[in-house]
Amino acid sequence: MRRIALLAAAGALYAGLSAEADDFGALVELQLLQSSPDLFGVETPLIAPVTATGDGTGHRTKDQAEADQIETARGLSARFVTRVAADGIADMVLWPAEAPTHLMVCTGGSRTEIGFTPDRTVKFNPSVQRISLTGGAVTTVLRGLDTCGALTATGWGTLIVAEASEGGGVYEILDPLVLTEAQVLDRESGETSAPGRVAKRDHLPAISWRGIVALDSGVVYGSDAMAPGALGADRDGGAIYKFLPETVLDGGTITTLDGSPLARGLAYALQISCSKDELRFGQGCETGIGGWLEIAAPDARFEAGGFGATGYDRPAGLVRDPNAMGEGVRLCFATRGEPGVREASILCLEDREPGFATGSDGAPANTVRLSRFVDGDAGFNGFASLAVQPLRGNFIIGEETANGDVIACLADGADGNDRSDGCVRVAALKDISAAVRGLVFSPDGTTLYLAAGGSDDADMPGSDSFPTDDILRLTGFRPPEPKE
């Protein structure tokens, strides 16, 4: 079969790419790569996966440069924000949202006694830290969580942090720019060393949190990063949850935690049906229409499974799509997959009525539509972290795999499906012991922050009696051209 050399069309930037004359898919992929400056704001994506160096042991050293840790698309530059954030970073958020000065960081260490405070009380593992964007100074806000897995800023001025351990709790922090060295003294009761500044929120589901979104009304969505089969053979994976506050907020910030909408409310789990005419749920019905099943927050995982909530493969990275049109909210999340076994995916749900869960008859109201947005493949897999790029509206995906990729995906356009219009690789870690975590964009969409989480620290000094992770800043994403 005659081959068309696509090198001439692509230019030297795409040396080595070629396709069969009748391979329409390859031609479309090439067009996507050629259009990257306009579509993704980078000069040239990474064409092939980055080859990792070594076996992960000893890759990270104190004298290495950013280029030793990450490779970026042409046009982007990488700089360390800090190299002494606590190990096991799972999630990050900029604070304050509109004019950020710090990163708030959720670190994944299990609850561990690591020493003593100056007054000789037990000191626990760092769980929430704030990191200066200008100097990289690291300050511990809260200690003593059991594997912090998700955090988010609220519209009423607080920070929500949640544990990824089984039956993980949710805590709310007031003034995280001021609070320093608070501790969770008793996870069961929620007792802390700063009761006016930190409160456990028992009305939210007790799950393995790896994604959380808070609406300004006080409604909260979350994902449970449980794998299928974790509770036994033929048991579903983690569900998607919603919390409806007893008192709905109507704007403004709070001055005390007593005024938070998270103090009281009801918890629900999502059930998707394959049919609009009758309830059909279970295996094979991951997408479709659905509603919310009321569950008891302390037993959320078990009641969700028992009542027929829809399960997914370790759902994580839950984010709100700020560019969604129409009524309600659109939320997207990642399912992990496993390289060489099954593909990862990004799914999105549209909840037309965020403030409601049941109809007048008390039965779940079918307010949700859930569909696939991105399917992984052999090269793109292990999805676990998500961010939406301001202004452009592209989705950025982080792989929680050895020397994971950072993938940029277009939003869905005016075509006849609900899928992304195409994805490219914009960065990749070189350390096979590290995973891409905590993706978050600057408000103008030109800078992406990410953590190289869980890296091997054998040749790195610790900080605060704890191993460390790198946080990087990728700059150079071009803003979109103004529309005429």
Domain assignment present for 116:
yes
Domain assignment present for 322:
no
- Do 131 and 255 sit in the same domain of this protein? yes
Domain assignment present for 413:
no
**Which SS3 state, helix, strand or coil, does residue 237 take?**
coil
- Do 216 and 113 sit in the same domain of this protein? yes
Domain assignment present for 291:
yes
How many residues belong to the chain? Answer: 484
Contact 30/24 with Cβ under 8 angstroms? no
| CA end-to-end span of the chain | 45
- Do 108 and 235 sit in the same domain of this protein? yes
The reported pLDDT for the residue numbered 359 is 63
* Alpha carbon distances (Å) from 352 to 191, 328, 332, 337: 37, 4, 14, 28
- Do 282 and 199 sit in the same domain of this protein? yes
C-beta pairs of 145-148 under 8 Å, 24+ apart in sequence: 145/111, 145/169, 145/171, 145/184, 145/187, 146/110, 146/111, 146/187, 147/88, 147/90, 147/108, 147/109, 147/110, 147/111, 148/90, 148/91, 148/106, 148/107, 148/108, 148/109
- Do 94 and 30 sit in the same domain of this protein? no
Domain assignment present for 58:
no
* Alpha carbon distances (Å) from 21 to 265, 408, 480: 60, 27, 33
Q: Is the dihedral of CA 84, 134, 176, 473 positive or negative?
A: negative
Place of tokens 């109201």: 365
- Do 152 and 22 sit in the same domain of this protein? no
- Do 192 and 280 sit in the same domain of this protein? yes
Pick from 422, 428, 418, 426: nearest CA to 409: 422
Domain interval for residue 182: 88-311
Q: How many structural domains compose the chain?
A: 2
Pick from 237, 242, 166: nearest CA to 206: 166
Q: What is the Cα–Cα distance from 337 to 104, expressed in whole angstroms?
A: 28
- Do 285 and 156 sit in the same domain of this protein? yes
Domain assignment present for 405:
no
What is the Cα 260 distance to its own chain's centre?
A: 24
Q: Which run of H or E residues covers position 270?
A: strand 265-273
Q: What is the Cα–Cα distance from 307 to 295, expressed in whole angstroms?
A: 8
Contact 16/33 with Cβ under 8 angstroms? no
Q: What is the Cα–Cα distance from 158 to 170, expressed in whole angstroms?
A: 13
Contact 189/150 with Cβ under 8 angstroms? no
Please give the backbone phi and psi of residue 105, each rounded to the nearest 5 degrees, phi first: -125, 135
- Do 194 and 273 sit in the same domain of this protein? yes
Tokens of residue 452, six digits: 């190289």
Of 311, 340, 370, the residue that ends a domain is: 311
Of 275, 294, 311, the residue that ends a domain is: 311
DSSP E strands in 87-145: the ranges are: 89-95, 102-107, 113-116, 122-124, 126-132, 138-143
Contact 395/33 with Cβ under 8 angstroms? no
- Do 197 and 259 sit in the same domain of this protein? yes
Domain assignment present for 210:
yes
Tokens of residue 179, six digits: 């609070």
- Do 121 and 238 sit in the same domain of this protein? yes
**Mean pLDDT per 10-residue section of the chain, whose length is 484 residues:** 32 48 80 93 88 67 92 96 95 95 93 92 96 97 97 98 97 98 96 97 98 97 93 88 95 94 97 82 87 96 94 96 90 88 91 85 81 89 94 95 91 88 94 92 97 88 90 96 69
Contact 126/139 with Cβ under 8 angstroms? no
Q: Evaluate if pTM is beyond 0.75.
A: yes
Q: What is the Cα–Cα distance from 262 to 417, expressed in whole angstroms?
A: 37
The reported pLDDT for the residue numbered 454 is 85
- Do 102 and 11 sit in the same domain of this protein? no
The reported pLDDT for the residue numbered 345 is 95
Domain assignment present for 112:
yes
Which amino acid is it at 43? Answer: E
Of 266, 287, 311, the residue that ends a domain is: 311
The reported pLDDT for the residue numbered 172 is 98
Contact 302/311 with Cβ under 8 angstroms? no
Strands 468-475 and 77-86: antiparallel
